[in-house]
Amino acid sequence: MTLGTTAACATPRRSTEPLARTRIVPLGTAGGPTLLDPARAGVSTAIVHADRIYLVDLGLGAYQRLVQSGIAPGLANGDLLENVRGIFFTHLHSDHIADWPALYVTGVSNAIGRTAPPIQVWGPGVRPTLPRVFPPGRPQPPVFEPGDPGPGTVGMTSHLRQAFATDINDRSRDSALAGPDTLFEVHDIDLAGIWTPDLDGEPPRLSAPIHIWQDGDVTITATLVDHHPTAPAFAYRFDTPDGSIVISGDTTVSKNLIDLAHDTDYLVHEVIDAQFAEQVVAHLPPDKAAPMREHLLSAHTTIEQVGAQVAQAARARNLVLSHLVPANNPIARWKLAQQGYSGRLVIGNDLDALNVGVSA
């Protein structure tokens, strides 16, 4: 079967099942910064519990998918963000945060009438060292922004405030709109005493998850996953009265992730087709092929690994494939992840909601 054929039509599907109190709504299921399939926006997952929405990552197109999803009841009144409680970034690669600038700068205009507390935003902190250069011995590339080469979530957002200062000041003075800092409270996840990322970016095994936030009856925890040399990178777990959901972020097979996802109801996990990776590097010159192959196959989880080595080991009851690389892969390729996994396999589609627990 030829790779690279379009797997879905340009119009995303929406689930027609009765809605449960807790559900997963994939806003975007495409992995990587390369645009390949118009039916798949950049990676982003909404967790809905009762009247609360939690967003994990904001890939390219995720903001528009939130509009299309129907999970935001205040849309007609300019209050799209009324029920959004938290935003969680797994790591700061562009394909996971591309829509954060748009949401940050226009959020106030889409939260008209919001009375809830500020949206809590969590993500990686400052990278204290640049990652290693691969392969060893390759000339060092230039350092971009040497004064601040590894800002965390707070620092990145501060740079956005500066970049959009003209717009923010205009709207504040002309339309009496508040600034984005009134809508978002941004946090770097504190790793003090846990780990200081090094050149290689391979995290240690954790003895316990990292507590992030308790929002009523929803508990959010995290762990460090292995997306080396990118670090820190996180997976998140949402425990609700109806069941648990784990979002892997980008990672190779990770014992920390397996620990976090132990006995979970839904594991939403990234996946890459190794055949696609080999096809990509075959078209590159040797000096670029080796680094690309290293990243694609050692920092991600393949079809052969995700079911048998991760979901089965975690005893996850449902495995949902997302961050699909390539986004336009034939569905038959993704179905091979069932091999070695005894639970239910779901190939994620944008806006195709999944119920957690019984229908409401």
Q: Give the pLDDT of residue 62.
A: 98
Rounded distance, CA 321 to CA 313, Å? 16
User: Is 90 in contact with 250 (CB distance < 8 Å)?
Assistant: yes
Residue 241, preceding peptide bond in cis (omega within 30° of 0): no
d(CA 46, CA 211): 20
Question: Could you tell me if residue 107 is inside a domain?
Answer: yes
**Can the peptide bond before residue 135 be classed as cis, meaning omega within 30 degrees of 0?**
yes
For residue 333, the domain's CATH number is 3.60.15.10
What value does the mean pLDDT of the chain take? 94
Q: 351: which residues sit within 8 A by CB, 6+ positions away?
A: 12, 13, 14, 15, 25, 26, 27, 65, 68, 69
121 part of a folded domain: yes
Residues 47-81: tens digit of each pLDDT: 999 999 999 999 999 999 999 999 988 888 899 99
Is there a domain that residue 111 lies in?
Answer: yes
Residue by residue, DSSP assigns 177-241 as: PPPGGGTEEEEEPP-TTT----SS--PPPPSSPEEEEEETTEEEEEEE--BTTB-S-EEEEEEET
Q: State pLDDT tens for residues 150-190.
A: 999 999 999 999 999 999 999 999 999 999 999 999 999 99
Is 330:1 a contact under the CB 8 Å cutoff? yes
Q: Is residue 48 part of a domain?
A: yes
Q: How far apart are CA 51 and CA 48, in angstroms?
A: 7
Give the gyration radius of the chain's Cα atoms.
Answer: 20
Beta strands 234-240 and 344-347 are: unpaired
What are the structure tokens assigned to 254, written together? 């990770």
**Residue 126, domain member (yes or no):** yes
The tens digit of pLDDT for each residue in 76-123 reads: 889 999 999 999 999 999 999 999 999 999 999 999 989 999 999 999
The answer to whether residue 104 sits within a structural domain is yes
What's 264-296 look like in SS3? CCEEEEEEECHHHHHHHHHCCCHHHHHHHHHHH
Residue 38 included in any domain: yes
Number of domains within the chain:
1
Rounded-to-integer distance, Cα 212 and Cα 120, Å: 10
Residue 11: inside a domain, yes or no? no
Give the mean pLDDT of 328-352: 98
Global model pTM greater than 0.85:
yes
Find the domain containing 231 and state its range. 20-130+148-359
40 versus 280: which is more confidently predicted? 40
pLDDT at res. 137:
86
